Amino acid sequence: MKHLLILSLFLFFNSCSSKNNDVKTTINKDLTKQNDSVFIKFNLNKGESFSLRISNSFLESQLLDDFINGNTVNFSVGEELSYVQVSKDLTNDSGVYVKKGDSIEISYLNGRFIFKSLSNKKSTADLNLYRDYHEYVKNQKPFEKLSADKKNANANKNLTQMLEINKKLYTIRIDFINEYLKNNTVDDIYSNSFLSQYRFTKLRLDYWDIKAIGNNNQLGEKYIEILNLFKKDTIQAEVLPLLFEIIVDYNRTILPISKKNDRVLFAEYLFKSIKNDYSQRNRDILILELLRSGKNADLLNKFYNEFKTISKNENFIKRAKEIVERNSQKKSVEGSEDTLLKDVEGNKITLKELLAKYKGSAAYIDFWASWCAPCRLEMPKSIVTSKNYKNIKFIYISTDQNAEQWKKANIKMLPNYVDSYLLLNEKSSKFIKEIKLSSIPRHIIFNKNGDISNYDAPGANDIQFENILKQY
């Protein structure tokens, strides 16, 4: 379910949205500071190395590997906050929000990441707000209790109790942030963004709970609350795809069947709704999300031409043009309902053909992407394990939209591995729609007869991983 509690605790920093793989971020190692970018320097112990996942306000994400002591990285960002996640392994990661012109140093001491400003103009408290909050959530016993209570309330379809638990979760978060702000001087752009983010987290949980149990009147009231929040608050860009899901769902709920079943009419209605209900940056990013999801070239061009007249941000307009051109070029591929794959040599095959090739053996499919840190962190163990199960074929399918980024990551993560492919038609594939692939890593198991027997199998770092495989 979309409102699983674990997602509410960490949003999607511990998993990766499958939509967020269109990489255009400019990355240049070993450069000096620039006013329109962010500069990071590493101060690590000998032998330590880490990965960075960088996300910017254009909803683009890129993973950079193997930073060691003394390395520097300089990358351009948008006008608002961008997120940088630093990882040692799956259980040891942290994050920091940065904005244009920031210069920071990342250290690691006693199992804890330390973020320090290299500029006298910036408070270190700004940088460590997310880290301290992240650690607070990890160690909060009340969250465990509320999680159990939420499951019981959900099982009993007790909406009143579910909404009350959402309120308690929100209160714990906001109390921590308010206490942090009382004891530290934090730039308003950081504090306001955090407070808005968790207001939305609560409203989002409420929305999906009401959707599952309540009625359309309650749903409409909650949607208006969400709309009002985004009218007045600037929220971290990574949250906006979650808002887009709600916009699409709500309009599907309230529109008559004739309008919502007509894809063109529905897309036009969404565009008009976003244009009228949201303003400036939030509106622009939501329209970019709508353009990303489209494949009707004429309609995309129509939206783009209107977007040019309402947006004041040249960078967003440029990005919209790139999305429309790319989606138009992919029209022939996206027209297929079969799941189309391509290997590193450029050879194409459908998933149906691939499974037929291995009929008589089970197939473990691993969906990943070059920019997805959790995906890559579990892959080494997955590869090693695959050699121990001769009757199970391990197939790795990347959801990258940038083929070059996929090839580069593939050389490092899956060198010379035969069954590694790039997914070519995520939007039109019947299989992808059936399994509801909304985040990665994701793992599907087919039995030896070619039927899906596990829609959401554990990954290689899960303690149940080999127990599941032994069943095949």
Q: How far is CA 283 from CA 219, 237, 243, 256, in A?
A: 22, 11, 11, 25
Residue 122 lies in a domain: yes
Residue 173 lies in a domain: no
Residue 166 lies in a domain: no
Residue 249: burial class (beta carbons within 10 Å; 0-12, 13-18, 19+): middle
So what's the pLDDT on residue 415?
87
Tell me the per-residue pLDDT of 310-345, one tens digit each, with 9 for 90 and over.
998 888 898 899 888 877 665 444 445 688 899 988
The answer to whether residues 132 and 28 belong to one domain is: yes
The answer to whether residues 261 and 371 belong to one domain is: no
| φ, ψ for residue 446, nearest 5 deg | -100, 140
The answer to whether residues 360 and 321 belong to one domain is: no
The answer to whether residues 275 and 360 belong to one domain is: no
Total structural domains within the chain: 3
- Distance in angstroms between the alpha carbons of the first and the last residue of the chain: 27
Q: How far is CA 389 from CA 130, 368, 383, 466, in A?
A: 41, 21, 11, 10
So what's the pLDDT on residue 61?
66
So what's the pLDDT on residue 190?
81
The answer to whether residues 318 and 356 belong to one domain is: no
The answer to whether residues 321 and 352 belong to one domain is: no
Residue 435 lies in a domain: yes
Residue 262 lies in a domain: yes
The domain containing residue 84 runs over which residues? 15-136
Instruction: Report whether 44 contacts 108 (CB < 8 A).
Output: yes
Torsion-angle region of 11 (φ positive above 0: left; ψ -120 to 50: alpha; else: beta): left
Per DSSP, the residues of 254-294 read HS-HHHHSSHHHHHHHHHHHHHHH--HHHHHHHHHHHHHT-
pTM reported for the whole predicted model: 0.68
The answer to whether residues 354 and 464 belong to one domain is: yes
Residue 420 lies in a domain: yes
Tell me the per-residue pLDDT of 198-232, one tens digit each, with 9 for 90 and over.
899 899 999 999 998 877 889 999 999 999 988 77
The answer to whether residues 284 and 366 belong to one domain is: no
Question: In sequence order, what are the residues at sequence separation of 6 or more whose Cβ sits closer than 8 angstroms to the Cβ of residue 371?
Answer: 16, 20, 21, 23, 53, 61, 62, 63, 400, 405
Q: Which residues pair with 94 in a beta bridge?
A: 86
In angstroms, the CA 369 to CA 451 distance is 25
Place of tokens 């392994």: 89
Query: Last residue of a domain, which of 289, 310, 329?
Result: 329
Query: Last residue of a domain, which of 82, 110, 136?
Result: 136
Query: Last residue of a domain, which of 136, 166, 190?
Result: 136
The answer to whether residues 43 and 118 belong to one domain is: yes
The answer to whether residues 260 and 348 belong to one domain is: no
DSSP 150: H
The answer to whether residues 125 and 61 belong to one domain is: yes
Residue 429 lies in a domain: yes
CA angle, 460 then 464 then 470, to 5°: 90
So what's the pLDDT on residue 89?
64
Residue 66: burial class (beta carbons within 10 Å; 0-12, 13-18, 19+): exposed
So what's the pLDDT on residue 392?
93
Residue 387 lies in a domain: yes
The answer to whether residues 19 and 129 belong to one domain is: yes
The mean pLDDT values, 10 residues at a time, for the chain of 472 residues are 32 41 38 62 84 70 76 75 76 80 87 85 78 77 78 86 91 88 86 85 92 86 92 72 89 82 88 89 89 84 94 87 75 60 89 89 92 84 90 93 84 88 85 83 89 86 85 84
